[in-house]
Structure formats: C-alpha cells, structure tokens
C-alpha cells in the first residue's frame, strides 16, 4: 500500500522528528519562564506538581497530537476535521485547530518580544557592556531596555524575520535544515554552560530551592500555573506538535519518541534552574523577581566571573537559538493551513503571518512603555497574552484534544498509528487520555474559577 504523505514534505527519519519536536519544546519556556515562575511559586513543591503534570497530562496528550497529525498528514485545522470524519464524527472538530492557530499567534507576539530581549543581550554581551556590572546596574540596564520601545521594536522585528525566513523555506529546506544545525549546537552550548554554572558556588542552595518540597507553599494558583506551563513547555494544546507529527515517517513508535522529547525538555528546564538559582542566591537577589529574573541575574554573574564575557555571550546565543526553533513551530501550523486551503505559496503565507504577529507583538512590547497604562482584566497586554494562552487556551485545547483522541478517534486507528498491541502499555495511555488528563485539567480549572469568583 502506498503510504500517505504530507504535501509539505516529511522528516528524513525518526531522529529528525525527535530533534525538531525537541526544538519546538525547548525554548524560552525552559530557560526564561520555568526559573522565574518556579521562583514566584516558592520552588520545590511547584517543581513537583509540574513534573507530575508533564508525566500524567503532557505525555499522553503529546501522543494524542502526534497520532492525529500523522494520521491525517495535514495541518492541525484540517487534520482534526479529517480524522473526526474518518471516525464518523462532525468536521466541526476543526474549530479546536482554529483555536490553536489563534493561541499560536498570541504566544508568538509576546515570545518574540522576549526573544528580542535575548538578541539585545547577545549583542550587549558580545560588546562587553556587562563586564563588571553589579545587580543594581544590571537591573537598570534591563529597565532601560524595557522603556525604550524603539530598541524593543528593532529586535522584535529581527526575530520575526528570522523565523519567517526558516518557515518560508518549507519542511525540508527550512525546518529540517535548521534543526540539523541548531539542535546539536544547542546541546553543546548547554553542556558547556552547565559545567560553568556548577563552578559558581552556591550550587547546593540552588539545588535545594528546586527540589526541597514544601507543601505549605502550594496554592491552587500555583497548581494552575504548573499545569499551564506543562502545556506551554511541551508546545501542546495548539497544534504545533500535531503539525510536526504530520511530517513524521510512518512506523516509528510514537510512545518512545514522545517520552524522549518530554524528557529532554524537562532536563533542559531543570538544568536552566540549576544554572540560574545558584547565581540568584550568590548575589542575594530575589528568586521571585518575575520575568526579569534571567535578564538581571545572569549578566551579574557573567559580569563578575573569569571568562564571563564569552560565556555570557554563548549563554544568550543558546537562549536565542532555543527561542528561534520554538517560534518556528508557532508559525508552521498556520503556514501549512494557508498553503493547504488558499492555494497560496508558502512564501506569501509566511509574509502575511509575519506581518500579523509583528503587529500583535507591538501591542505586547508596548506594555513596558507606551501602553503601560492599558490593562485587560488588570493585566498589561504582555501579561494578558501570556496568561490567556498558557493558563486558559492551551489547557482548554488540551482538554479538547484529549477528549478527541480518547473518545472520538476509533480505537483501531489509535492502535494502528501508535504502532501498539492492545496491551497494558496501550491501556495506560488510553486511561490517561480518556480520564486522567481531561478530568485533572477540568478540576484544576474549576477550582481556580471558583476561587476567582467566590
């Protein structure tokens, strides 16, 4: 039987899929967001809840996304419709894909602003702007950057163009080629820097902060943040992994592949935490400082240390590469959909998408300067985009995808795509995706809603 292929192309082999999906997963979520939300939520207990969410909710849902994408070999919006129909259900399931594309735009807009900060720091580190800075000075440099909308705009624009250029190249000449170069570079840089951070002193303090479990610090709010982050960090709930799955070669086991991706993502987040918190404590900085944490602590550390300029430069290059490979996957589902449905060339589609996310990004970067007085539900636009996507839209997308894969896709189809026998392992996944994932996410939602309303 002739195997069905995506019109966009396919990954050369299973490892390219693993690397590409890991490229999507490993990003600002791991290196920037994970450390600062862990700091804001008190450390160990939060980390534990996060790990449980990855295992019980994230992994099964990622399998579901890959399964649906690979079955249909189309962009998420069309894949949901196609697979629903194949199993005898309404094509309206495509709306879940549509919500995903919208989440992708919203994430992209603030993601690109933070990636812009990273690029600014790459340049600054390269020029030696941070040599010898103390924490006050580092804080001032960061705040000055936030207040300067023109600089923010320049770097945001550069990042959008970088992403557009890769996605416009297509699955093989764009995404796959970028993956082959950037992912090995990312791992080498990460190892280098881990070694460096282990020599910063205060390593044990950082370790304890991450792994010492203190239940009293746990709130329902923190649980919601941990859950939302498990979706964000694994790129779930919006179709990115579904799109990548649609380019996956047949007859590669989805379970083992997905476990590898989730493990790598988790590892990078923990390593980032272990690199950042020792520095925070060494310089008596506040672990709960919020989004600026990484941008203030790291320059301080690098500013004081031997070889700091070079390592600081490499560190921000690493973060930039990680952000780049992630943002590519934020644009790909929408690009593939425009190509499939509107007979548009991929290049034109990418230019249109880039313009859209660029415009939205301006609203996000304005939060720190010209739009600082404008709030939605008490949040500035940047915080609102982050909150609405990570804590509401991605988990909601996750509920729908798990219900879809668990209850609507025919069992035979799932077995076939997962390349599994009807054994205990399959039932473990089946129970997770049918019951554990949707029920857990719904309960956490309901409790938070109740707490906000009452």
Q: Which residues bind Na ion (CB under 5 A)?
A: 25, 29-30, 233, 265
Rounded Cα gap, residues 139 and 133, in angstroms: 10
109 or 235: CB nearest ligand PFF: 235
Question: Residue 360, interface with ligand PFF (CB under 6 A)?
Answer: no
User: Which segment (25-33, 36-44, 172-180, 334-342) binds ligand PFF by CB under 6 A?
Assistant: 25-33
**Coil vs helix vs strand at 377:** coil
Instruction: Indicate which single residue of 109, 112, 233, 266 sits in contact with ligand PFF (rule: CB under 6 A).
Output: 233
37 or 330: CB nearest ligand PFF: 330
Rounded Cα gap, residues 94 and 79, in angstroms: 7
Instruction: Indicate which single residue of 23, 29, 116, 312 sits in contact with ligand PFF (rule: CB under 6 A).
Output: 29
Question: Residue 225, interface with ligand PFF (CB under 6 A)?
Answer: no
41 or 233: CB nearest Na ion: 233
**Coil vs helix vs strand at 41:** coil
Among all chains, which residue has been given the structure tokens 């179709």? Answer: 239
Give the residue among 47, 452, 443 at the shortest CA–CA distance from 215. 47
User: Which segment (113-121, 230-238, 354-362, 400-408) binds ligand PFF by CB under 6 A?
Assistant: 230-238
Question: Residue 133, interface with ligand PFF (CB under 6 A)?
Answer: no
Question: Is-contact 68 77, C-beta < 8 A?
Answer: no
Rounded Cα gap, residues 322 and 26, in angstroms: 6
Helix 203-211 with 254-282: angle, nearest 10 deg = 130
Footprint on residues 99-118 left by ligand PFF (CB under 6 A):
104, 107
Question: Is-contact 31 270, C-beta < 8 A?
Answer: no
User: Residues in contact with ligand PFF, total (CB under 6 A)?
Assistant: 16
Q: What is the DSSP letter of 422?
A: S
Contact residues for 116 (Cβ-Cβ < 8 A; gap 6+): 152, 154, 155, 156, 158, 159, 365
Question: Residue 246, interface with ligand PFF (CB under 6 A)?
Answer: no
| Cα maximum dimension of the chain | 66
**Neighbouring-strand partners of residue 376:** 379
Question: Residue 38, interface with ligand PFF (CB under 6 A)?
Answer: no
Closest approach, Cβ 431 to ligand PFF, in A, equals: 26
Question: Residue 232, interface with ligand PFF (CB under 6 A)?
Answer: yes
Instruction: Indicate which single residue of 59, 118, 145, 238 sits in contact with ligand PFF (rule: CB under 6 A).
Output: 238
Q: 189 touches which of Na ion, ligand PFF, none (CB within 5 to 8 A by kind)? A: none
Binding site residues, ligand PFF, CB under 6 A: 24-25, 27-30, 104, 107, 232-233, 235, 238, 240, 326, 329-330
């Amino acid at each position: 039987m002739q195997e069905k292929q995506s019109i966009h192309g396919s990954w050369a082999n299973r490892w390219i899929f693993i690397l590409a999906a890991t490229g999507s997963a490993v990003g600002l979520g791991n290196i920037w967001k994970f450390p600062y939300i862990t700091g804001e939520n008190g450390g160990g207990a939060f980390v534990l809840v996060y790990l449980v969410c990855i295992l019980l909710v994230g992994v099964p849902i990622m399998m579901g996304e890959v399964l649906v994408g690979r079955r249909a070999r189309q962009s998420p919006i069309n894949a949901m419709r196609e697979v629903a129909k194949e199993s005898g259900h309404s094509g309206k399931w495509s709306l879940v894909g549509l919500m995903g594309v919208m989440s992708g735009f919203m994430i992209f807009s603030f993601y690109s602003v933070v990636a812009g900060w990273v690029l600014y720091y790459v340049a600054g580190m390269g020029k030696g702007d941070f040599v010898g800075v103390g924490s006050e000075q580092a804080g001032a440099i960061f705040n000055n950057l936030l207040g300067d909308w023109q600089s923010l705009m320049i770097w945001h624009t550069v990042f959008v163009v970088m992403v557009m250029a890769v996605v416009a190249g297509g699955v093989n000449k764009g995404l796959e080629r970028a993956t082959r170069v950037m992912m090995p570079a990312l791992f080498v840089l990460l190892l280098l820097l881990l070694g460096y951070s282990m020599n910063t002193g205060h390593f044990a303090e950082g370790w304890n902060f991450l792994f010492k479990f203190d239940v009293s610090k746990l709130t329902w709010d923190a649980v919601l943040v941990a859950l939302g982050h498990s979706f964000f960090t694994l790129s779930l709930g919006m179709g990115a992994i579904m799109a990548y799955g649609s380019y996956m070669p047949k007859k590669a086991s989805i379970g083992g592949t997905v476990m590898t991706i989730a493990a790598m993502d988790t590892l990078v987040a923990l390593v980032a935490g272990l690199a950042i918190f020792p520095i925070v404590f060494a310089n008596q900085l506040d672990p709960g400082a919020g989004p600026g944490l990484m941008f203030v602590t790291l320059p301080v550390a690098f500013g004081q240390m031997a070889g700091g300029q070079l390592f600081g430069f490499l560190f921000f290059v690493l973060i930039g590469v990680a952000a780049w490979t992630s943002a590519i996957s934020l644009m790909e589902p929408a690009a593939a959909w425009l190509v499939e449905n509107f007979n548009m060339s991929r290049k034109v589609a990418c230019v249109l998408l880039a313009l859209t996310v660029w415009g939205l990004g301006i609203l996000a970067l304005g939060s720190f300067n010209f739009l600082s007085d404008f709030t939605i539900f008490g949040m500035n636009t940047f915080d609102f985009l982050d909150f609405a996507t990570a804590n509401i839209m991605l988990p909601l997308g996750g509920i729908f995808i798990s219900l879809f894969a668990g209850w609507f896709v025919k069992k035979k189809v799932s077995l076939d795509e997962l390349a599994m026998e009807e054994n205990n392992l399959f039932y473990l996944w089946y129970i997770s995706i049918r019951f554990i994932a949707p029920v857990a996410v719904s309960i956490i939602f309901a409790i938070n809603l109740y707490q906000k309303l009452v």
